[in-house]
């Protein structure tokens, strides 16, 4: 029994070791290297083939020049701040859109809930790139949205939405909306309806019962949904590249340009390590919130 338990524990840890820790150490090693015009385009400062002598030379020559460069060039810290801003605003917008949908699903008749759930999950059946490209056609000056607004007489000339931050917000909200809806719906579905009846019997209006009972009890789902949207949105690359254009500054775009356009792998690796360090904080908070929720459900 002890061997079986140890095996079950070992498997996920080996998975994390192989697919997270080892790649991270490789990227961190590259971030301490020097850029070169070669293949690969860097000179490693740590040579494992040299054994202990190579490791001692690495420690004596260890420097964080690439990380210092990130603090000296305005592009990088502005990209981090811009990414944080876009991720926070997108998360708030996704919450404002997703909470009413989840609330409506949780209060819908039982026979309608599987259909509503399928409609929420349905976008995942289509390629992510195809959905983003579809939004390019919708938001362009000659796109479907402008054509409808012109036909309705709401506007007199096409709106410029594509290649702006507004298009990025629309793309992120649309793409990550299911990640917000599903945890909130799972929390609201388990809500005991007798609590709302008791609140109304004690003099609360329906809206008052919502603010005093439903909203506080839905907090675990709201927190989980916000983390599930914020974490991937912070490092998003495809949406700002296709919908935001060159005017949108996000760290995912900077990372891609350093790797593939400038071929500066050491600096790009340093950017990735710093981004991961920033993401570790919300990831740890999310894990702790999930643990508290599981303990509360027991």
Q: What is the pLDDT of residue 225?
A: 93
What pLDDT shows up at residue 56?
59
**Residue 244 CB coordination number (10 Å):** 23
| C-alpha gyration radius of the chain | 24
**pLDDT at position 175, please?**
92
- Checking if the pLDDT of 237 tops 60, the result is yes
Cα distance between residue 247 and residue 233, in whole Å: 18
Percent of residues, the chain, with pLDDT higher than 90? 21
Q: Residue 57: its pLDDT value, please?
A: 60
Tokens 């839905």 correspond to 218
Answer yes or no: is pLDDT of 292 > 80. Answer: no
Q: pLDDT band for 64, please (50, 70, 90 cuts).
A: confident
pLDDT score recorded for residue 167: 92
* Mean of pLDDT values over 243-265: 85
Ordered by start, the domain boundaries in the chain are 67-297
Q: What CATH code is assigned to 67-297?
A: 1.10.3720.10
Inter-helix orientation angle 113-121/74-106, to 10°: 160
At 84 the pLDDT is 92
């Amino acid at each position: 029994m002890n061997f079986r338990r140890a095996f079950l524990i070992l498997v996920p840890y080996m998975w994390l070791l192989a697919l997270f820790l080892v790649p991270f150490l490789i990227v961190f090693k590259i971030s301490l290297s020097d850029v070169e015009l070669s293949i690969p385009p860097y000179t490693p400062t740590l040579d494992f083939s040299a054994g202990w002598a190579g490791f001692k030379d690495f420690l004596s020559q260890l420097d964080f020049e690439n990380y210092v460069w990130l603090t000296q060039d305005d592009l990088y810290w502005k990209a981090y701040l811009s990414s944080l801003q876009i991720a926070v605003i997108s998360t708030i917008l996704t919450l404002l859109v997703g909470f009413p949908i989840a609330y409506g699903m949780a209060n819908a008749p039982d026979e309608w809930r599987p259909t509503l759930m399928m409609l929420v999950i349905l976008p995942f059946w289509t390629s992510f790139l195809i959905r983003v490209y579809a939004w390019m056609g919708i938001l362009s000056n000659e796109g479907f949205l402008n054509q409808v607004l012109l036909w309705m007489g709401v506007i007199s000339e096409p709106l410029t939405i594509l290649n702006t931050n507004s298009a990025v917000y629309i793309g992120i909200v649309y793409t990550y909306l299911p990640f917000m809806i599903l945890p909130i719906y799972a929390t609201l579905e388990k809500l005991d309806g007798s609590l709302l009846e008791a609140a109304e019997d004690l003099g609360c209006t329906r809206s008052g019962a919502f603010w005093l009972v439903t909203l506080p009890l839905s907090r675990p789902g709201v927190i989980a949904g916000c983390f599930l949207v914020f974490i991937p949105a912070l490092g998003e690359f495809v949406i700002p590249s296709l919908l935001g254009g060159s005017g949108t500054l996000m760290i995912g775009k900077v990372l891609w340009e350093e790797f593939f356009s400038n071929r500066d792998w050491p600096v790009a690796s340093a950017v990735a390590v710093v981004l991961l360090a920033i993401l570790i904080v919300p990831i740890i908070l999310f894990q702790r919130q999930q643990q508290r929720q599981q303990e509360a459900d027991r």
